[in-house]
C-alpha cells in the first residue's frame, strides 16, 4: 500500500541524509575554492610543498614530493567537485524529501484521520438526537460541515499519495545517483593516478639509473660486476681495508677475531659502498676495519674461492704429501676466475704478512684461518659433502691455513704492499736526529715490505735514539742514555696514548696521528738537549715537558 510506505521513506531519507553528510570531507554550502581549502588532501598537498623546500634541487625525494604535491592537489580538486555534485544531486533532494515533502503528506494523513473522527462523532450525535427540530437542524449542519472538511482533506491527502506514488522511483534514483557520482569520482581519480604514477616511476627510474652509475653499491654485489663498474682489479673493501690495517693493525692483538662496535662497522661499510673512506677516521679502530672486510667477504653472492670448487678444495687439503697438496692447490687456483684469483692473492699475501707478527698480534695462520675461513669458502647448498657448520670450524682451516703459510710459493707474483704515508709534521728543531718514519700507533717502517723478506714493522722503543758521542765539556756534557730510559718511556708512552685517545673526539683521528708523531720528536729533541738524564727523575721531567707541549698543541689545533 502506498500510504504505508510514506513513513519508512521519510525515516530512510532523514537517517541517510545525516549519515551521508557525515561522509563529506568538507562543510556543505561552501563554494569550490573554500571547500577545497578545507579538504585533508589539500592540507597534505600544502605540507608536501613546505617540506620539499628543505631539499636541494638534485634530491630524488624533492622531485617525488613535487609530483605528489601536484597529484594530491588535483585529487583534492576532484574530491571537492564530487562532493559539490553529491550535495546538489543527493543531499539537497533527500533533505527536501525528509523535511518538506513527506512530512506534509504525513500531516495531511493525520488531519484526515482527525476529521474522519469528527465527522463520525457529529453523525452519531445527530442520529441520536430527539430534541426540538431546531436542535436537530443544527446537528445536521454540523455533520454536513464536518463532511465538507473531510472531503477537502481527503482530496488533498489522496493527491499527496498519488504524487508520492508517481515520484517514488525518482526518490529511489537519488541513491542510484549517489553510486554513479562515486563511480565517476573513483574512475577519474584512478585514471589520473594511474597515468601520473606511471610517469613518476619512469622519471624516477631514469634518474635512479643515472645516479647508480656513479653510486654503485659494493656490499652484496657480485665481485665481477663491482670490478667492471669501478674499473678496478681489487675490490674497494679489500684494498681500502688492507691499506688501513697495514697502517695500524699489524700488531693489534686478536685482529679479525675481536668484534668492534657495530655502529662503527656499519658506518665504515656505508663509506665503502660510496667509495669515499676517510682513513684518518677509521684507521684508529683496526677491529672495525677488519669487521668491515670480513663483512664484505661474507656478503658476496659467491664465495671468493667459489662454491663450484668447494669439494675440490677439501679434497686437495686432505692430501698428506705436502708438495702434492701444494700442486693441487695451484691447479685449483688456476681454475678460479681471474677476478677471484687476483683478490684472493691480494688478501692471502696480506694475511701472510699479518701472521708474521703473530708473536704480537696472536694471529697465527691457523687462527686467521679459523676466523676468516667461513667467509672465504662455503657450499652452494646444505646438501654438499660438508655442511656449513663443519666448514666454519675444523676442515676449512685445512684449506686456508696452507694458503697463508705457503703463500709465497702458491702466489709467486710478489705484491709490493704500499704502506700509506702519514702527513708530514714540522720538526721541533732543525737539529732533530730522529730519522724513523712513524705511523699513528708508534710503529716504525724502516724499509719496504717484500715477499722475500720479513716484516719491518717494529716499536720505536726497540730502537734507542741516536745520540752523538760527545766528549765531556764544562758547559753541558751529554751522558749516554741509561737502560732505564726506554723502559720508562715505553710505560709513559702507553699512558699518553690512552690520554690522547680519550681526549680527542672520534672524528679527529688525523689530529691523534699528528700529535703522536710530534710527541716523539719533541721527546727525542728534549732528551738530546737534557744536561743530565742519568736517573728516572730527570727522565720524567723530560716526559712532562714533552707532554705539556703536546697538550698545548692539541688545544691550539682545536681552537683553529
Measured in whole angstroms, how far is the alpha carbon of residue 167 from the centre of its chain?
A: 63
Q: What is the mean pLDDT of the chain?
A: 75
Using DSSP, state whether 438 is helix, strand or coil: strand
Mean pLDDT, residues 415-434 taken together: 47
Q: Sign of dihedral through CA atoms 208, 213, 216, 221?
A: positive
- Whether the pLDDT of residue 352 is over 90: the answer is yes
- Whether the pLDDT of residue 390 is over 50: the answer is no
Mean pLDDT, residues 312-338 taken together: 93
Rounded CA-CA distance 499/494 in Å is 9
- 182-205 pLDDT tens trace: 999 999 999 999 989 988 888 877
Rounded CA-CA distance 45/135 in Å is 83
Of the segments 135-149, 301-315, 491-505, which one has the largest average pLDDT value? 301-315
Q: Burial letters for 469-494: b for 16+ Cβ neighbours within 10 Å, e otherwise?
A: eeeeeeeeebeebeeebbebbeebbe
Residues 6 or more apart whose CB falls under 8 angstroms from that of 264 comprise 282, 285, 288
Residue whose cell numbers read 608536501: 48
Domains, the chain, ordered by start: 3-214 (1.20.1270.60), 223-410 (1.10.555.10), 438-451+478-559 (no CATH)
- Residue 447's pLDDT band, with cuts at 50, 70 and 90, is very low
Q: Which of 121, 149, 146, 122 is nearest to 136 (CA)?
A: 122
Residue 522: per-residue pLDDT:
59
- Whether the pLDDT of residue 60 is over 70: the answer is yes
Residue 378: per-residue pLDDT:
87
Residue 94: per-residue pLDDT:
84
Rounded CA-CA distance 185/239 in Å is 59
Residue 468: per-residue pLDDT:
38
Using DSSP, state whether 437 is helix, strand or coil: strand
Residue 164: per-residue pLDDT:
74
Residue 455: per-residue pLDDT:
37
191, 194, 199, 200 alpha-carbon torsion, rounded to 10°: 130
Residue 166: per-residue pLDDT:
76
Residue 287: per-residue pLDDT:
93
Using DSSP, state whether 363 is helix, strand or coil: coil
- 230-256 pLDDT tens trace: 889 999 999 999 999 998 889 999 999
Residue 492: per-residue pLDDT:
53
Percent of the chain with pLDDT over 90: 29
Count of CA atoms in the C-beta half-sphere (13 A) of 47: 6
- 4-35 pLDDT tens trace: 777 788 888 888 888 888 888 877 777 778 88
Rounded CA-CA distance 525/544 in Å is 13
- Residue 463's pLDDT band, with cuts at 50, 70 and 90, is very low
- 141-191 pLDDT tens trace: 777 787 888 787 777 777 777 777 777 888 888 889 999 999 999 999 999
- Whether the pLDDT of residue 395 is over 90: the answer is no
Rounded CA-CA distance 543/522 in Å is 9
- Whether the pLDDT of residue 423 is over 80: the answer is no
- Residue 534's pLDDT band, with cuts at 50, 70 and 90, is very low
Tell me which of 279 and 341 has the higher pLDDT: 341
- Whether the pLDDT of residue 57 is over 60: the answer is yes
> Which run of H or of E encompasses 103?
helix 102-128
Per-residue H/E/C for 450-462: CCCCCCCEECHHH
Q: How many CB atoms lie within 10 A of CB 428?
A: 17
Predicted TM-score (pTM) of the model is: 0.45
Residue 440: per-residue pLDDT:
35
- Whether the pLDDT of residue 448 is over 50: the answer is no
Using DSSP, state whether 150 is helix, strand or coil: helix
- Whether the pLDDT of residue 307 is over 50: the answer is yes
Total number of residues shown for the chain = 560
Alpha helices (runs of H) in 393-508, residue ranges in sequence order: 397-405, 407-410, 484-503
Distances (CA, A) of 497 to 424, 463, 508: 20, 19, 14
Distances (CA, A) of 550 to 419, 435, 468, 522, 545: 26, 20, 26, 8, 9
Tell me which of 484 and 244 has the higher pLDDT: 244
Amino acid at each position: 500500500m502506498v500510504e504505508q510506505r510514506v513513513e519508512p521513506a521519510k525515516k530512510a531519507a532523514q537517517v541517510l541524509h545525516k549519515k551521508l553528510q557525515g561522509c563529506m570531507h568538507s562543510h556543505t554550502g561552501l563554494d569550490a575554492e573554500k571547500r577545497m581549502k578545507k579538504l585533508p588532501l589539500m592540507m597534505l598537498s600544502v605540507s608536501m610543498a613546505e617540506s620539499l623546500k628543505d631539499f636541494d634541487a638534485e634530491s630524488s625525494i624533492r622531485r617525488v614530493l613535487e609530483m605528489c604535491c601536484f597529484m594530491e592537489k588535483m585529487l583534492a580538486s576532484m574530491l571537492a567537485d564530487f562532493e559539490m555534485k553529491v550535495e546538489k544531486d543527493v543531499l539537497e533532494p533527500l533533505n527536501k524529501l525528509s523535511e518538506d515533502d513527506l512530512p506534509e503528506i504525513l500531516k495531511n494523513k493525520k488531519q484526515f484521520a482527525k476529521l474522519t473522527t469528527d465527522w463520525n462523532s457529529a453523525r452519531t450525535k445527530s442520529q441520536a438526537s430527539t430534541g426540538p427540530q431546531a436542535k436537530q437542524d443544527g446537528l445536521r449542519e454540523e455533520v454536513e460541515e464536518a463532511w465538507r472538511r473531510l472531503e477537502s482533506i481527503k482530496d488533498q491527502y489522496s493527491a499527496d499519495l498519488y504524487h508520492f506514488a508517481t515520484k517514488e522511483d525518482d526518490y529511489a534514483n537519488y541513491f542510484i545517483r549517489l553510486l554513479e557520482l562515486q563511480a565517476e569520482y573513483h574512475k577519474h581519480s584512478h585514471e589520473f593516478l594511474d597515468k601520473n604514477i606511471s610517469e613518476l616511476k619512469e622519471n624516477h627510474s631514469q634518474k635512479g639509473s643515472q645516479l647508480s652509475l656513479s653510486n654503485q653499491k659494493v656490499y652484496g654485489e657480485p665481485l665481477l660486476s663491482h670490478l667492471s663498474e669501478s674499473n678496478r682489479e681489487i675490490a674497494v673493501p679489500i684494498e681500502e681495508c688492507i691499506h688501513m690495517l697495514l697502517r695500524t693493525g699489524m700488531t693489534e692483538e686478536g685482529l679479525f677475531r675481536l668484534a668492534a662496535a657495530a655502529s662503527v662497522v656499519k658506518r665504515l661499510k656505508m663509506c665503502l659502498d660510496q667509495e669515499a673512506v676517510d682513513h684518518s677516521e677509521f684507521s684508529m679502530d683496526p677491529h672495525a676495519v677488519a669487521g668491515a672486510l670480513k663483512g664484505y667477504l661474507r656478503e658476496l653472492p659467491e664465495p671468493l674461492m667459489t662454491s663450484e670448487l668447494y669439494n675440490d678444495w677439501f679434497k686437495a687439503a686432505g692430501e698428506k704429501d705436502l708438495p702434492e697438496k701444494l700442486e693441487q692447490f695451484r691447479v685449483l687456483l688456476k681454475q678460479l676466475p681471474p677476478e677471484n684469483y687476483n683478490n684472493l692473492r691480494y688478501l692471502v699475501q696480506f694475511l701472510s704478512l699479518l701472521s708474521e707478527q703473530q708473536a704480537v698480534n696472536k694471529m697465527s695462520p691457523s687462527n686467521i684461518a679459523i676466523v676468516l675461513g667461513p667467509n672465504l669458502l662455503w657450499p652452494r647448498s646444505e646438501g654438499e659433502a660438508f655442511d656449513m657448520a663443519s666448514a666454519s670450524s675444523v676442515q676449512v682451516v685445512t684449506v686456508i691455513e696452507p694458503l697463508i703459510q705457503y703463500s709465497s710459493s702458491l702466489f709467486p707474483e710478489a705484491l709490493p704492499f704500499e704502506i700509506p704515508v702519514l702527513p708530514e709534521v714540522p720538526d721541533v728543531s732543525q737539529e732533530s736526529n730522529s730519522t724513523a718514519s712513524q705511523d699513528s700507533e708508534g710503529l716504525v717502517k724502516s724499509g719496504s715490505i717484500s715477499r722475500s723478506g720479513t716484516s719491518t714493522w717494529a716499536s720505536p722503543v726497540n730502537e734507542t735514539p741516536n745520540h752523538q758521542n760527545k766528549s765531556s765539556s764544562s758547559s753541558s756534557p751529554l751522558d749516554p742514555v741509561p737502560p732505564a730510559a726506554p723502559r720508562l718511556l715505553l710505560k709513559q708512552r702507553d699512558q699518553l696514548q690512552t690520554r690522547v685517545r680519550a681526549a680527542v673526539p672520534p672524528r679527529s683521528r688525523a689530529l691523534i696521528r699528528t700529535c703522536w708523531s710530534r710527541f716523539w720528536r719533541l721527546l727525542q729533541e728534549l732528551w738530546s738537549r737534557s744536561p743530565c738524564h742519568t736517573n728516572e727523575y730527570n727522565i720524567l721531567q723530560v716526559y712532562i715537558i714533552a707532554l705539556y707541549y703536546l697538550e698545548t698543541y692539541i688545544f691550539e689545533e682545536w681552537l683553529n
